[in-house]
């Protein structure tokens, strides 16, 4: 699947406060992970603390694995208070939404834009596990291609 030349990337330049609840939680968790990583603290603990607010603690380990894989290359994530999505945040939301909602080959394609094949496959597995854990917690990401 070609991932270049898309007319409009979902969530590009979106306001963080305007995101649906599941997407906002995923971005908040990603930002908490990045902040903990910068401070040298436990990223998994930061994720568990935040995800427990929505009974989604099971999503902490897969998200940690996904973000660790992505962070092997420069990863731009906003601070916890950034008003808009920045850097790789829109693409990350797109990948996890596709992984959760079924078009997993698209999730892999988006991850292949950033990672070599072996790492992209590992990241896809983590994205699928994250999506499943979110779904079990009642958090369903919206279809990124619907308006």
What is the per-residue pLDDT across 93-118, written as a single tens digit (0 to 9) for each? 999 999 998 778 889 998 998 899 99
pTM equals 0.90
Among candidate residues 29, 145, 18, the one with its CA nearest the CA of residue 89 = 29
d(CA 128, CA 53): 21
Task: Assign 143 a pLDDT band (cuts: 50, 70, 90).
Answer: confident
**Cα angle 34-104-1, degrees, rounded to a multiple of 5:** 100
The pLDDT value given to residue 140: 95
| Cβ(27)–Cβ(82) below 8 Å | no
| pLDDT at site 12 | 78
């Amino acid at each position: 699947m070609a991932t270049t030349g898309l007319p409009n990337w979902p969530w590009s330049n979106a306001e963080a406060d305007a995101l649906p609840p599941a997407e906002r939680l995923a971005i908040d968790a990603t930002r908490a992970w990045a902040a903990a990583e910068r401070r040298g603290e436990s990223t998994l603990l930061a994720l568990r603390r935040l995800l427990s607010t929505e009974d989604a603690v099971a999503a902490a380990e897969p998200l940690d694995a996904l973000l660790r894989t992505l962070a092997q290359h420069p990863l731009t994530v906003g601070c916890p208070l950034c008003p808009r999505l920045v850097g790789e945040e829109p693409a990350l939301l797109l990948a996890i939404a596709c992984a959760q909602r079924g078009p997993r080959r698209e999730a892999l394609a988006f991850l292949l834009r950033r990672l070599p094949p072996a790492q992209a496959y590992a990241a896809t597995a983590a994205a699928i596990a994250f999506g499943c854990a979110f779904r079990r917690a009642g958090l369903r990401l919206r279809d990124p291609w619907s308006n």
